[in-house]
Structure 1
């Protein structure tokens, strides 16, 4: 869903219908936004179980907010949810032990050869481990911009900073990721001079 496809009035109507007990509106909201929230939480936390908890909490907060959504001043549901999700993730990261990683990493199974699967998994894990070494705000900006594909204006709203600050955070984050991953280029199967920092 791109910014041009988002209609704040339609979203507000959907939330109002949900608040009035419309089960169809609830299903539409859940199917539209839960996958986005979960994917963002996974990238922020590098932990699928924790991300599921965050996604549930973020959606629960949306349900609670639904009756009063007209008072939100035209905010997009997606923008609001990304902000809530990021805040929940940052709270959990601050409470967690440093450098805590999941025991395994679950990848979608599209059945390439076993070597390609292992290499893809290694690249995902290397990127996620590198992301977890960035400061919280840099990681959030990089994930929103280069993984979730949001524009600087929406990221600025989510992070409550200016667009120039977004550009600065993402640039610093990408430089840090490149530095963190550069020593692993050969092990990760990259043969060119550029370490890829996206998946």
Structure 2
């Protein structure tokens, strides 16, 4: 069975605007989710998704059906872009953190859920990059272990080890939420 995206990529390579819109509609939500979870910043996630689509447009004419799965390639591109941004963050120090608007629900609604979501997000950001990547791919992107391991360039056993360590770290960081 061939890659379900091969035909669409062929049409994108041919300059078909409808195919470009269809590809964006199909891939954008997952790219935003992946980048948002990796970076913890919606604006940066949008920038990563935009750069990933620019790379798709450039790569589409050169794409060889059957050489690789498009989704695997796209996830790897997005993850590499996320890691580039994470490296830049470590290199840049701020005297004062930038102000960010609170995009959450109104203060009188969902305070506990909002707090829990923030704590989970902080706990995810505290994980080592590879553990966070494994958890995002398997739990948030809903990829199977074989595909996630291929994207990460590790064995399935190594992926499972990363998942186990990441889950244990999250469980320890969020232990008090268990009884809430």
TM range, smaller chain: 0.7 to 0.9
Does residue 155 in structure 1 map to residue 152 in structure 2?
no
Q: Confirm or deny: 8 A CA contact 1:46 1:101 kept in the other structure.
A: no
**1:106 alignment partner in structure 2:** 103
Does residue 48 in structure 1 map to residue 42 in structure 2?
yes
Partner SS for 2:143 = coil
| Count of paired positions | 176
| CA distance, structure 2, for counterparts of residue 23 and residue 124 of structure 1 | 38
Does residue 167 in structure 1 map to residue 160 in structure 2?
yes
**1:96 alignment partner in structure 2:** 89
Q: Confirm or deny: 8 A CA contact 1:47 1:101 kept in the other structure.
A: no
Q: Confirm or deny: 8 A CA contact 1:18 1:25 kept in the other structure.
A: yes
> Where do 4+ consecutive residues of structure 1 move more than 2 Å?
100-107
Q: CA deviation at 1:105?
A: 5.4
Larger RCO (alpha carbons 8 Å, 6+ apart): 2
| CA distance, structure 1, for counterparts of residue 89 and residue 121 of structure 2 | 16
Partner SS for 2:174 = helix
Q: Confirm or deny: 8 A CA contact 2:13 2:60 kept in the other structure.
A: yes
**2:11 alignment partner in structure 1:** 17
Instruction: Please list every run of 5 or more consecutive structure 1 residues that lacks an aligned counterpart in the other structure.
Output: 1-5, 193-199
Q: Which string of whole-angstrom CA distances, capped at 9 and with x for unpartnered residues, describes residues 107-144 of structure 1?
A: 5x6x9x944x1111111110110011111000000111
Q: CA deviation at 1:76?
A: 2.2
Map 1:67-78 to 2 at 5 A.
67-70=61-64, 73=67, 75-78=68-71
Map 1:108-187 to 2 at 5 A.
114-115=108-109, 117-182=110-175, 184-185=176-177
Instruction: Please list every run of 5 or more consecutive structure 2 residues that lacks an aligned counterpart in the other structure.
Output: none
Q: Which string of whole-angstrom CA distances, capped at 9 and with x for unpartnered residues, describes residues 28-72 of structure 1?
A: 100000111011000000000110000100111111110111166
| CA distance, structure 1, for counterparts of residue 75 and residue 99 of structure 2 | 23
**1:191 alignment partner in structure 2:** 179
RMSD: 2.5
